[in-house]
Structures are given as C-alpha cells and as structure tokens.
Chain A
C-alpha cells in the first residue's frame, strides 16, 4: 500500500564498497601499521644512539644483535659502550615505548567509556590517584606484596580516583564534558596536595626529593629486572581492549543504544575501569604520571584511520610508543647534561593540544555533553 509513498529506488544499485575491516580500508590500515612499526624501530635505534656518549647506529645494532646471539660484525666496541646501550639505554627506550603505547590505548578506551573526547588518565586524576597510592607505599614502607607493592598501591589509587571522578561527574545519567574535566582537575588537585603533604611531613628528605622528581614523570632509573611488569600490563591491556574493540564502538552510539545491541554497559564499564586502572597504576609506578599522551594520540590517530576502535587501538599504541621514545630523547638532550622530566615535555605539547581540541569542539558545537 505504501509503494508509491516510500520512493525507495529499488533499481538504484548499491556501490560495492567494502565494510570496515576488509578491502581497501584494510590495506590502508596495514600500510599505516607497518609504517609506524618501521618508525618505531628507527626511533628506538635513535634512542639507543643519542645521548652524552654517541654510539653510531650501526654499532648499536651490532651490540643489540650480539646480545641476542647473532653476530654480523666484529664486536670491536668497548665494554662501556655495551653497558650504555644494553643496560642504561635499552631498558629506558623499552619503558618509553611501553608507557607511550599503554597511555595511548588507555586514553582511547577511556574516551569511549566516559564518552568524552577530553578524557585522559592524567586529566581525570587517575594518574594522581596512582601516584598517591605509590607514594604512600614509599612513605609508610608498606610492602605486603613484595616488589610489586608499589604497583598494587598505584592500581588501588588509580581505581579509587577513577570511580570517584566518574561518580562526581555523572548526574542523572549524564556526563557533560566540562563537568568531567572539572571533577578530574579538582580531584587531581586534592590528591596531589595530599601527596605533597605526605612527602613534606616525612622525615626522609632525600627520598622525598627523589619521589618529587618521579611525580613529574620520567623514564630514568629503570632496569631490566623491573621492566617485565609494565610490559605484561601493556600486553594484557591491549589484548583485552582489542577483544572488546567492537564493544567500545557500541558505546559511541549511546548507552541505551549499546544495550539494545547486546552490551551490558554497566558491567562492561566496571570491568574496563578495573583494567584501565590496573594498567595506569603499573605504568605510573614505573614511569611516574606522564600526561597528555593519552589525550593526544587517540585524536591524532583518528584523523588518519577514523573512529573504529579495531583500527584506532593498535595504531594509537604504536603512535604513543614512537611519541614517548622521542619525547624521552628530547628530555635527555635538550638541556644536557641536565635531564628534564619527560612529563614536563609531554605537558608542553599536550596543554596547547588540549586547548586546541576544546576550541575545535566548541566551534563544531559538539561540546554538548553526552547521555
């Protein structure tokens, strides 16, 4: 009865374009991932090369392959150089890559979970919670969990801060962008104040100064024996998030809509909050709170690959790794021999980026808050 009214042009052919995850889109994505992987290898090489003692890239690769048991050139370098490359720089470059990748995927997932493009562990106070947890362990000498006590405490602090910010920002089932960021900032301020209070009131002055430097975020002081924990956390985080990439997409459509497409939103969010806090906690325990990587990477990556999390997550991970490796190279060299905390540098890039993002969203009229 409605044939005439519908106007559906049945004769119009559907162009055979491929859907997500196949065809030309997949090729393009593969090219982007390969290019980023190559860039990461180059960046890591640069990270091993550049420093107070310059080690030529060829020699760097000689040392690395030698350590891996494959010699393709005469090992004619000094033992000191080998130590610098393998024991000083390599763990640091790896931690930089792991932390950058981790922060980028955490930012990506967090933005989907709270449905807000300004979400990021540092801005939402999650990193502050993790720092406070870690510092309490140091100050009170709480070592129930042995060597991983710091990470456990950072995880607990991160989770507490995230739940608190989320609960504060959400009223009547809605979170507006401004309220989320404001509660994040306020809670971060309180947590940081408590952290400083703890540090100042502790009798151990030297330790306090070291911890204070750590709270600015830095990759120094890492060694092979502590690297496994952040690496494992990263693999776990990326693995679980990739499995749930489709579900993260659903959240973009709205919570009720996501439910109608088969996602138990409350349970999913609770589980991912725990996962993200865990990864954040471990990364903060290892590298200090490093801000804005989790904000910048997802947005930059979306410009190239669109918003589908099946593509955003791996791309952001690689992009974050590359970015932080270079940020750390800069931190080590721009004011050599003094070292700048890498968190200071990321904030220098990230703060203006945040402002740009905020103004762009305001111009687009999309700062409408989300249900």
Chain B
C-alpha cells in the first residue's frame, strides 16, 4: 500500500441549476491527511463524491496520481481509491467479515475465492479499527458506531493509496473517534476526510480546507487558518482560538450568544 497524490483543479458541481461546489481546487500530497471542514451544505460531501467518482464535475478535473479519475475505468480507480461514504446498507444478513471481504473485490478476478493473503488483510483491517471481536457478528445487528468502524475496515481492506471518508467519526463514541482518526493518520495512504469537529480536524489533519457555500474560503495548516474572524464568517458564531498547552494544536471554543446561566 503506497500513497498517491490527489489534485482537484477548478471543480464545479451542480445539481440542476444549483451550485453545490464552485471552482474548488485542492491538493493532497502523498501521505498527507487533508481535512475538509465547513457548515452543513457547504459542499464537503459533494466534493468528496466527485473524488470517489460518483458525482461528475461540470467543469474542472479530479486527478489521482496524474490520471483523470473520471476517464479511468471504475474498477481500476477502485484499486487506488477507497471511500467510506454516507450510504445506507441494505439488510441482508452478511457477517462483518463478509462485509470487510467486499473490499477485496477490485483486486479479485471474477470467480476467484479469498486467498490466505486476503484473509490476512481482512484481519488486519479489523484490528486497525478495534473490531476483531465483531468479525462473526451479523452486520445488521451492530450499533451505528460499530457499523462505521466495520465500513472503515472494509475500505482499509481495499488497500487504497488514497482514502476518502465522509464524516468517519459520525456515531462513534469519543474513544473510537480518537482511535479511528489515529489509525487513519498512521496509514501510509493519502487521506481526504470531511469532519464536523474542528478540534479533531485541527489535531489530526496536516492541512485543512474550509468550505463555505461551495467555495474554499481558507486552506492551510490548522494553526494558520483557524481565526475568530474566519469562524465568524463561515459558521456565523463567535469563537475563541487558543493553542492547547498539551497537544500544541489549535483549540476552538465556541461562545454562544446567550450567557450561560
């Protein structure tokens, strides 16, 4: 598993007459962890969908390792790019191990069975998200957080050089938020992820892109871009930004308008 470079050049995405994303450019160098932050509806998910090849850009290009992602065959791209998306799984009695095994599909010929190497990859993917004990449980019966971890394991089993995740910490308790983000960060792969929690984003990402109304308003290392002015403009709330004395990462504290009683 190696890392690959992602570059998004001037991508515009529309749904009907509405702009979802307007002229966004973004780069992720091999091995970097890049975060997308921004309020609801700012275009994070849409931009990710253009990267994992579900939403075709109206203009602009998504290039993975120099190749236009949209002119590669779906299967070939899937050997390089894996994604954990906001998608609902159907209810079909698959065991967790079988769900994770799906990730091997782009690497397999039709009719080929799972080899010992596949089994090993599946096991280590489960280990990385602390889900080994779930391996034989029915996927349908898991809690939201457990499912999310299994889906991340499935993406890891795909051995991506670029991993795209849409809100991977949704439904996770705080311990697993930290362990999953830590595991992602340790991957050799390039990681692009959308996150709600600014403090987690600041701690785990090398660089951030702040999206607002479908456009990039700021980008760079977390310590450089998080300012009270930016947060007020993008989120419409007052905030204080400090440097955390222990972690050294910027720490955002929102200041509600109503005083605390």
Listed in ascending order, the chain A residues whose CB lies under 8 Å from chain B are 2-3, 5-10, 12, 14-15, 17-22, 111-112, 115-117, 242-244, 246-247, 249-257, 259-264, 302-303, 306-308, 361, 364, 366, 368, 370-371
Contacts and interface: CB of A to CB of B under 8 A. Distances in A.
B114 interface: yes
A242 B111 contact: yes
Counting chain A CB atoms within 10 Å of each CB, the highest count among B78, B87, B113, B204 belongs to B87
A250 to B, nearest CB: 6
A33 to B, nearest CB: 15
B190 to A, nearest CB: 15
A303 B93 CA distance: 8
Interface in B50-100: 52-54, 74-79, 81-83, 85, 87-95, 97-99
B46 interface: no
B134 to A, nearest CB: 12
B183 A8 contact: yes
Contact of B119 (A22, A242, A259): A22
Interface in B99-157: 99, 101-103, 105-106, 108, 110-111, 113-114, 118-119, 122-124, 126-128, 130, 132, 135-136, 140, 151, 154-155
B108 A261 contact: no
A111 B122 CA distance: 27
Nearest to A242: B111
B175 interface: yes
A254 B86 CA distance: 9
Contacts of B108: 246
A262 B52 CA distance: 10
Nearest to B179: A6
B113 A307 contact: no
B105 to A, nearest CB: 5
Contacts of A255: 87
A2 B186 contact: yes
A261 B94 contact: no
Contact of B179 (A8, A21, A246, A366): A8
A370 B90 contact: yes
20 contacts: A5-B179, A6-B183, A7-B130, A8-B183, A19-B97, A20-B101, A112-B92, A244-B110, A253-B87, A253-B89, A253-B151, A254-B90, A256-B52, A259-B54, A260-B83, A260-B164, A262-B77, A262-B105, A306-B98, A308-B94
Contact of B49 (A2, A21, A256): A256
A17 B186 contact: no
Interface of B: 49, 52-54, 74-79, 81-83, 85, 87-95, 97-99, 101-103, 105-106, 108, 110-111, 113-114, 118-119, 122-124, 126-128, 130, 132, 135-136, 140, 151, 154-155, 158, 164, 175, 178-179, 181-183, 185-186, 204
B114 A19 contact: yes
Given A246-B108, A260-B82, A261-B106, A254 B89 contact: yes
Given A246-B108, A261-B103, A371-B87, A9 B98 contact: no
Contacts of A307: 92-95, 98
Given A8-B127, A308-B94, A14 B79 contact: no
Interface centre among A5, A22, A244, A368 (most CB of B within 10 A): A5
Contacts, number: 166
Nearest to B115: A22
Contacts of B182: 2-3, 5-6, 8
B114 A21 contact: yes
A249 B52 contact: no
Nearest to B113: A21
A361 B54 CA distance: 30
Nearest to B82: A260
A306 B93 contact: yes
Nearest to B177: A5
Contacts of A112: 90, 92
A246 B85 contact: no
Given A22-B113, A260-B53, A116 B81 contact: no
A5 B178 contact: yes
Contacts of B49: 256
Given A2-B181, A260-B83, A261-B102, A115 B90 contact: yes
Contacts of B101: 19-20
A259 B52 contact: yes
Residue among B52, B164, B182 with max Cβ neighbours from chain A (10 Å) = B182
Given A2-B178, A6-B182, A19-B97, A256 B54 contact: yes
Nearest to A264: B74
Contact of B87 (A6, A21, A256): A256
Nearest to A364: B91
Contacts of B90: 112, 115-117, 251-254, 370
Nearest to A259: B54
A15 B127 CA distance: 11
Given A8-B130, A250-B102, A370 B183 contact: no
A302 B139 CA distance: 14
A262 B106 CA distance: 6
Chain B CB within 10 A, most for which of A9, A22, A261, A364: A261
Contacts of B111: 242-243
A246 B99 CA distance: 11
